[in-house]
């Protein structure tokens, strides 16, 4: 390896670490800012925010931030393959996924708080389908490292593809349910972003299929 290549490797290692730390810092900042401005978002005085208000608000905030990070991680590769740009996004995909898993774990914490604080019973279907989504998120996070990737071989890709699409599906199902309950246009934007992410992935998959058979 010549000096130039070594320098390039060193720089890319440094810039990846900087990007990773920025993603983690921005994720924490987004959570902190959402917490700080909750009374404004809820449209009530700071002193009037009840525990139930706070839990409901943070459930929505954590779900939206986690979905945003999931969408970014999902489009990283197809965006690079379709446009030839976005190398940095692709390089940082793992950290976007890990940040998503962290925020989703905060959602899990608020789910526990919600169950403790409300009289609403947990439906079996929510427990099974929601529980599986958390489990897959944690499995993906635990295996998001080079050692696991090497050890799992072809299974790494299978587990992560299944996990991503399953978690995406649960998100979309919940957002579609929220849209039909509230008709807030924000949900239309969120659902559209989710559909664009999957469409990009399908477009790249089909392009690779057809270029192989052509």
Footprint of ligand HEM (CB under 6 A): 56, 59-60, 63-64, 107, 111, 114, 122, 126-127, 130-131, 133-134, 167, 170-171, 174-175, 178
Q: What is the length of the chain?
A: 214
Return the residue nearest ligand HEM (CB atom): 130
Q: Under a CB-based contact definition with an 8 Å cutoff, are residues 93 and 86 in contact?
A: no
Rounded to 10 degrees, what is the CA torsion of 66, 68, 71, 76? -110
CB of 9 to ligand HEM, least distance (A): 37
Q: What is the CA radius of gyration of the chain?
A: 20
**How far is Cα 100 from Cα 113, in angstroms, rounded to an integer?**
20
Residue closer to ligand HEM by CB (options 75, 101) is: 101
CB of 169 to ligand HEM, least distance (A): 8
Residue closer to ligand HEM by CB (options 80, 163) is: 163
144 token code pair: 């998001």
Residue closer to ligand HEM by CB (options 25, 127) is: 127
Q: Which helix (H) or strand (E) holds 134?
A: helix 124-142
76 by Cβ neighbours in 10 Å (0-12 / 13-18 / 19+) ranks as buried
Residue closer to ligand HEM by CB (options 80, 140) is: 140
CB of 15 to ligand HEM, least distance (A): 31
CB of 86 to ligand HEM, least distance (A): 25
Residue closer to ligand HEM by CB (options 111, 200) is: 111
CB of 22 to ligand HEM, least distance (A): 25
Half-sphere CA count of 139, side-chain side, radius 13 A:
19
């Amino acid at each position: 390896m010549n000096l130039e290549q070594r320098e390039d490797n060193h720089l890319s290692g440094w810039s990846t670490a900087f990007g990773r730390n920025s993603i983690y810092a921005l994720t924490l900042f987004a959570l902190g800012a959402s917490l700080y401005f909750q009374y404004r978002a809820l449209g009530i005085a700071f002193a009037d925010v009840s525990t139930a208000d706070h839990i409901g608000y943070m459930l929505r905030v954590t779900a939206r931030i986690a979905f945003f990070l999931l969408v970014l991680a999902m489009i990283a590769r197809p965006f690079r393959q379709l446009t030839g740009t976005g190398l940095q996004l692709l390089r940082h995909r793992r950290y976007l996924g890990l940040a998503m898993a962290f925020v989703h774990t905060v959602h899990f914490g608020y789910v526990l708080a919600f169950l403790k604080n409300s009289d609403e019973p947990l439906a079996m279907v929510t427990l099974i389908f929601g529980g599986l989504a958390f489990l897959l998120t944690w499995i993906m996070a635990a295996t998001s490292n080079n050692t696991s990737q090497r050890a799992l071989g072809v299974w790494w890709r299978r587990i992560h593809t299944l996990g991503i699409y399953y978690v995406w599906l649960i998100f979309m199902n919940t957002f579609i349910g929220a849209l039909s309950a509230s008709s807030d246009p924000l949900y239309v934007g969120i659902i559209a972003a989710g559909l664009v992410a999957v469409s990009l992935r399908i477009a790249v998959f089909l392009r690779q299929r057809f270029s192989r058979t052509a």
